[in-house]
């Protein structure tokens, strides 16, 4: 009898699981053929926890079937994949209120997880409203000198490598420059203090950006309330303690020196003012959002700039054209210096940056969660509240239907002649709609300043040890080279 019972139970479980994998079919939505237990993914997901490669596969498979959207499964979790550009724009703009959440883990009892990228609804709107003034052109101009001075340090590193006839590890030099910039602008660390804390800062920064496949799986499969009740933390407690201590020391130092607050006007100066003006900002919010700015500004810009230097080394004609633009702008100034206003004249640099983000978007798929029941336009198909949606940015931006020679780095893709026909519809590297990346102008500024110092006095070729074609590390949610 016990054996019969187990057999019946096994058959029943099989059909229950089979039923779960018919979720999209029952809603008359085309789906990727699921595997038993794994869904649309395979065993590689246990090594990375990142669905990037499976989302790309789903995009191409669904497009071959001629549909505008479809479904896949992360184990037994249904994921909706929109692929039609008009539908995607409707989701991100017109019907934004139905997809206003990124659907990523955050919890009020784990305060460092509560930042502008993860928050939702009215809380997000309030936070966005408070932080938006920190990235206006006027505020960026006040931070320009900080970035420009650190650019000279970057150029000194290159000169040292050249004098020693050493190959440049482009990601390391880029990361060092961006660590200086972000530590100064988002954590208020002065240059003399930075020398003492840089190694520790970089250590905890590396801890933050370490692959976290198990955590990603737990956050996608389990209730966040359950996770927190079990003692789960978004980052290790040492990370939260370090950045909290760093912010407190910086805030205390600035309050002791009011003159410096008026002079520098960096990001931390501005959010400190928000803390004072009627309590719009708590200390915990400052820590959470400063830490997020580090993650967003450091890793994404490091990758973008490293990819760009890699492609410039491979494409000498592009490198020469970009150098000519930089030298031309510098020659127009008496001291050869490039001002904040000069950055807007770097049109070819803009094309190069936009193109590199097309080829290698930092976030290969844009997450959204359905925040209220959504009827797909022109159909009777319903997307249920809570359904995770992944917009396959990397696949779209490498689709030959939208970009000529999409697998080749070609800044002319972003020329005024070509831009109107493709970029405005199929380029999502900074997101789109109300949740467009708040700091994208800051990111462009720090990349341009780095390019000035990389290219003003030097030319680059690939080292013999550098592969012509990159492979990628799928252990993080960002698109990083292996």
How far is CA 143 from its chain centroid?
22
How far is CA 26 from its chain centroid?
34
Could you tell me the two tokens for 423?
A: 């970029």
How many residues are given for the chain? 482
Could you tell me the two tokens for 162?
A: 């050249």
Find the farthest-apart pair of alpha carbons in the chain and give their distance in angstroms, rounded. 94
Q: How far apart are CA 399 and CA 394, in angstroms?
A: 9
Residues near 338 by beta carbon (within 8 Å), at least 6 away in sequence? 148, 326, 329, 330, 452
Tell me whether residue 185 is annotated as binding. Answer: no
3-state SS of 53-115?
Answer: HHHHHHHHHHHHCCCCEEEEEECCEEEEEECCHHHHHHHHHHCHHHCCECCCCCECCEHHHCC
Q: Using alpha carbons, select from 79, 83, 160, 69 the residue that is nearest to residue 368.
A: 79
Q: Are strands 77-82 and 388-391 parallel, antiparallel or unpaired?
A: parallel
Which residue shows structure tokens 């993860």? 118
The one-character DSSP state at 211 is -
Which residue shows structure tokens 């590390």? 473
CB hemisphere CA count around 24 (13 angstroms): 23
- Are the beta carbons of 340 and 141 closer than 8 angstroms? yes
- Residues 435, 438, 444, CA angle at the centre, nearest 5°? 130
Q: How far apart are CA 143 and CA 134, in angstroms?
A: 10
Output phi, psi for 69, to 5 deg. Answer: -165, 170
- Residues 264, 267, 271, CA angle at the centre, nearest 5°? 110
- Are the beta carbons of 301 and 445 closer than 8 angstroms? no
Binding residues are: 437
Binding residues for heme are: 437
């Amino acid at each position: 009898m016990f054996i019969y019972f187990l057999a019946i139970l096994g058959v029943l479980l099989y059909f229950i699981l089979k039923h779960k994998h018919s979720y999209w079919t029952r809603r008359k939505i085309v789906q990727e053929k699921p595997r038993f237990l794994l869904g649309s993914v395979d065993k590689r997901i246990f090594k990375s926890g990142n669905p990037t490669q499976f989302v790309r596969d789903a995009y191409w498979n669904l497009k071959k079937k001629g549909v505008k959207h479809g479904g896949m499964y992360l184990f037994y979790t249904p994921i909706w994949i929109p692929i039609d550009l008009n539908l995607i724009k409707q989701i991100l703009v017109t019907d934004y209120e139905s997809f206003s959440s990124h659907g990523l883990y955050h919890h009020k009892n784990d305060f460092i997880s509560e930042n502008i990228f993860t928050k939702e609804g009215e809380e997000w709107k309030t936070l966005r409203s408070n932080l938006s003034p920190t990235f206006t052109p006027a505020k960026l101009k006040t931070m320009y000198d900080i970035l420009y001075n650190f650019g000279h340090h970057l150029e000194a590193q290159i000169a040292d490598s050249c004098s020693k006839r050493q190959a440049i590890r482009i990601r390391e030099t880029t990361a060092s420059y961006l660590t200086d910039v972000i530590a100064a602008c988002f954590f208020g660390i002065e240059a003399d203090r930075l020398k003492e804390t840089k190694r520790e800062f970089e250590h905890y920064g590396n801890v933050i950006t370490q692959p976290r496949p198990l955590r990603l799986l737990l956050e996608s499969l389990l209730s966040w309330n359950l996770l927190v009740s079990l003692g789960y933390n978004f980052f290790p407690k040492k990370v939260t303690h370090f950045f909290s201590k760093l912010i407190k020391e910086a805030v205390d130092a600035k309050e002791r020196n009011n003159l410096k607050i008026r002079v520098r006007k960096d990001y931390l100066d501005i959010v400190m003012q928000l803390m004072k003006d009627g309590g719009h900002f708590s200390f915990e919010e400052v820590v959470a959002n400063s830490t997020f700015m580090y993650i967003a500004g450091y890793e994404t810009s490091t990758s973008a700039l490293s990819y760009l230097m890699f492609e410039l080394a491979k494409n000498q004609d592009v490198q020469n054209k970009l150098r000519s633009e930089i030298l031309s702008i510098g020659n127009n100034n008496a001291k050869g210096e490039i001002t904040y206003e000069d950055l807007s004249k770097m049109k070819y640099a803009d094309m190069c940056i936009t193109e590199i983000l097309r080829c290698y978007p930092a976030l290969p798929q844009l997450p959204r969660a359905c925040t209220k029941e959504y009827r797909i336009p022109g159909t009777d198909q319903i997307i249920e509240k809570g359904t995770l949606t992944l917009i396959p940015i990397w696949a779209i931006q490498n689709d030959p239907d939208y970009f000529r020679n999409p697998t080749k780095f070609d800044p002319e893709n972003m020329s005024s002649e070509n831009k109107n026909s493709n970029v405005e519809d199929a380029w999502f590297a900074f997101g789109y709609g109300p949740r467009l990346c708040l700091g994208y102008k800051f990111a462009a500024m720090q990349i341009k300043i780095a390019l000035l110092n990389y290219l003003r006095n030097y030319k680059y070729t690939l080292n013999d040890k550098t592969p012509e074609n990159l492979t990628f590390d799928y252990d993080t949610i960002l698109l990083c080279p292996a």
